[in-house]
Structure 1
Amino acid sequence: MQTLLLDSDDVRANAPTDRLIAAVEAAFEADQRGDTRMPAKSYVDLPQYNGDFRSMPAYLRVRDDDGEGWDAAGVKWVNVHPDNRADHDLPTVLGTMIYSDPETGVPLAIMDGRELTMLRTGAAAAVATDHLAIEGASSLGIVGAGVQSYTQLEAIAAVRPIEEVVVADADAERAAAFVEAFADRFEIRAGSIAEAAACDVLSTVTPVESPIVDREAVGDHTHINAIGADAAGKQELDPEILRAATLVIDDHEQTTHSGEINVPYSEGTITDADIHASIGEIVVGNAEGRTAADRITVFDSTGLAIQDVAAAHVVYTRSTEQGNGTPFDLLGLAD
């Protein structure tokens, strides 16, 4: 019995964008239909190291129109250590995904969770963009040119005819590197946050704790993927944007605790009455997506364990199809 070891290169090589987006959308649908098991994310705080660990387990069952489909299970063990870069020359966020056979519990694969997180986060934004952005959206603004920004562009360009890209980042070198990476595929330039916010689609992927996108800067029909807020106290958007928008969330507990809406929700500026729907409700057709051309829409994305498991399913299935990855006898059961 072999377990596949998949490093970051393997994960990326085995994650076709179209299959990844479809799998993440299927995960949202499964969750809405009650075909998932997803305990709350648990935290192990380590203040002595200015960091924490987070455990994200999930199971999902995806069914097609004939009642067939697939199921999958796994757990992601991820950390956030803000001092890693300066003190240890390591990424702030690391992660490991264990992808298991739901029937037997056998660990089918152990894969890099950091790359998986970036890919599934981009895919989730693409699902939301597909349901909430105007049909002909051709411009994309990105605030924050870190690692998450790359998969935002890759995935969103798969669901909308993106031609123009504006990236804003306080680090000019980081913005320049992003521009260079995509210069052969898009009309792309570094610009201000206001210029990025005026685009048809905007993704914010920063760790800030005070709003940096003003209400006045956002276009009348802009769709916003609010990605950066992942802990209590973080927020990227002026709360007036949320009040003016059709507001869609991925999970009520997570978004109110640590998503873009967590601060205004705790202050009572945003209430449940301001939340239009979850993305799962929209995917299955229980709620409308975009309802007017001249309406701001916001997707508050905190990242769900079912997305990790769905993405890991794509990576594992593709790697077995292609015969790549590194098999090893983790359980000592090889013939």
Structure 2
Amino acid sequence: MKTRLLTASDIKKIINMPNTLAAVETAFREYGFGKVVMPPKLYLDLKHYGGDFRAMPAYVEKSAGLKWVSVYPGNPGKGLPTVLAMLVLNDPETGFPLAIMDATQITGYRTGAAGGVAANYLARKDSTALGLIGAGAQAKTQLLALLNYFEFEKIYMWSLREEDIERFQADFEDLPIESASIETAAGCDIVCTTTPSREFIVKREWVKEGAHINAIGADAAGKQELDPRILADAKVVVDDITQAKHSGEINVAIKRESFAEVDIYATLGEIVTGAKRGRIGNEITVFDSTGLAIQDIATARMLLDKAKAEGIGHDFDVIG
């Protein structure tokens, strides 16, 4: 048997948001039905180097694998992405490595897709104003995903650096993206927060009734973007309870006892399977996204199948 190598350029040829959305929604559905195996994410914290590594193993839909991903916020100043990742996909029946692939783009797309799936179930269907808080790679994939479900008349973006917004606008020149204050961006129908903040930057009084928030930036202990009062007033849906308590948007609020596990309404898997209802009326909803290994493995399986069908990648002997 051969192992297929898929480089970053290979992944770029075959990855797209509609296919990723389908793979990620399936992964959450399998999670909701209890058909996945996913140990807790393991962190290797290297504070003296300014970053950390995460080991993310999972089994979903007859595929097993491991993503090894690093997060180094200072990397852009060195000409490197903040997030770098590799993924090994295995045959669960034999353990044979089916593929080794770049997972940096997978990480971005599957995170965007989770936000898109969540908003499809939790946001108002008539949402026409989008607020993007943060102007990095995650903001791009959040936007790409949401455009599959909503037609936005206004898109407001806030970032600490105006030049980042200008670059973002250039990448989406056909969309009505306006630089705005954080208050304006936070006051939209759908709000996506994608910053590395360690103190809340979105105040409760800025968020209107009926809004949906994708809280994406908090992915490690100590990170937070939302005023705890937002969590207290909202229907909070998480991707995984254990991960969210440790490293999601709710982690700081739980440590400070302004939010508790019993206050979590549901996991996204429960929403997708219909075990619990999504939006009800004009409530505020929050999706706390920490990023699950099942999203990566489901997306990787889809990409491997597509690569084989299109003759993309290189097969080689890695074992034996």
Contact preservation (8 Å) 2:188, 2:211: yes
Which SS does the other structure have where 1:104 is aligned? coil
Matching residue of 2:75: 84
- How much has 1:262 moved relative to structure 2? 0.5
Match of 1:323 among 286, 311, 314: 311
How far apart, CA to CA, are the structure 2 residues paired with 1:163 and 1:330? 51
Which SS does the other structure have where 2:226 is aligned? coil
- How much has 1:308 moved relative to structure 2? 0.6
Deviations 1:207-226 (A, max 9, x none): 00111111111122111000
Which SS does the other structure have where 1:212 is aligned? strand
How far apart, CA to CA, are the structure 2 residues paired with 1:146 and 1:104? 39
Contact preservation (8 Å) 1:15, 1:314: no
Match of 1:245 among 204, 210, 234: 234
**Aligned residue identity for 1:9:** S
- How much has 1:93 moved relative to structure 2? 2.1
1:166 aligns with 2:173: no
Matching residue of 1:305: 293
How far apart, CA to CA, are the structure 2 residues paired with 1:235 and 1:325? 39
Deviations 1:282-327 (A, max 9, x none): 11111110001x2111000000100110111111111111111232
- How much has 1:138 moved relative to structure 2? 2.1
- How much has 1:248 moved relative to structure 2? 0.5
The list of structure 1 runs, each at least 4 consecutive aligned residues, that deviate by more than 6 angstroms after superposition, is none
Matching residue of 1:314: 302
Matching residue of 2:224: 235
The count of aligned residue pairs is 320
How far apart, CA to CA, are the structure 1 residues paired with 2:181 and 2:24? 31
Matching residue of 2:143: 153
- How much has 1:154 moved relative to structure 2? 0.5
Contact preservation (8 Å) 1:210, 1:234: yes
1:51 aligns with 2:75: no
Contact preservation (8 Å) 1:14, 1:316: no
Which SS does the other structure have where 1:37 is aligned? coil
**Aligned residue identity for 2:189:** D
Pairwise CA RMSD? 1.5
Contact preservation (8 Å) 2:245, 2:261: no
Matching residue of 1:286: 275
What are the ranges of 5 or more consecutive residues in structure 1 without an aligned counterpart? Answer: 62-70
Match of 1:197 among 186, 196, 205: 186
Distance 1:85 1:161, change over 3 A: closer
What are the ranges of 5 or more consecutive residues in structure 2 without an aligned counterpart? Answer: none
Contact preservation (8 Å) 1:126, 1:159: yes
**Aligned residue identity for 1:253:** T
Q: What is the TM-score when the length of structure 1 is the normalising length?
A: 0.92
Matching residue of 1:65: none
Distance 1:47 1:200, change over 3 A: closer
How far apart, CA to CA, are the structure 1 residues paired with 2:173 and 2:198? 31
Deviations 1:79-107 (A, max 9, x none): 12334344x43233211011112122221
Deviations 1:230-288 (A, max 9, x none): 11111001111111111111111111111001011111101123211111111111111
Q: How do residues 33-182 of structure 1 correspond to structure 2 at under 5 angstroms?
A: 33-61=33-61, 71-86=62-77, 88-182=78-172
Percent identity between the two aligned chains: 47
Q: Which moved more, 1:277-286 or 1:266-275?
A: 266-275
Which SS does the other structure have where 2:200 is aligned? coil
1:183 aligns with 2:169: no
How far apart, CA to CA, are the structure 2 residues paired with 1:74 and 1:100? 5
**Aligned residue identity for 1:50:** G
Which SS does the other structure have where 2:201 is aligned? coil
1:206 aligns with 2:206: no
Deviations 1:64-123 (A, max 9, x none): xxxxxxx2111000112334344x432332110111121222212111121110000001
How far apart, CA to CA, are the structure 2 residues paired with 1:84 and 1:203? 23
**Aligned residue identity for 2:37:** R
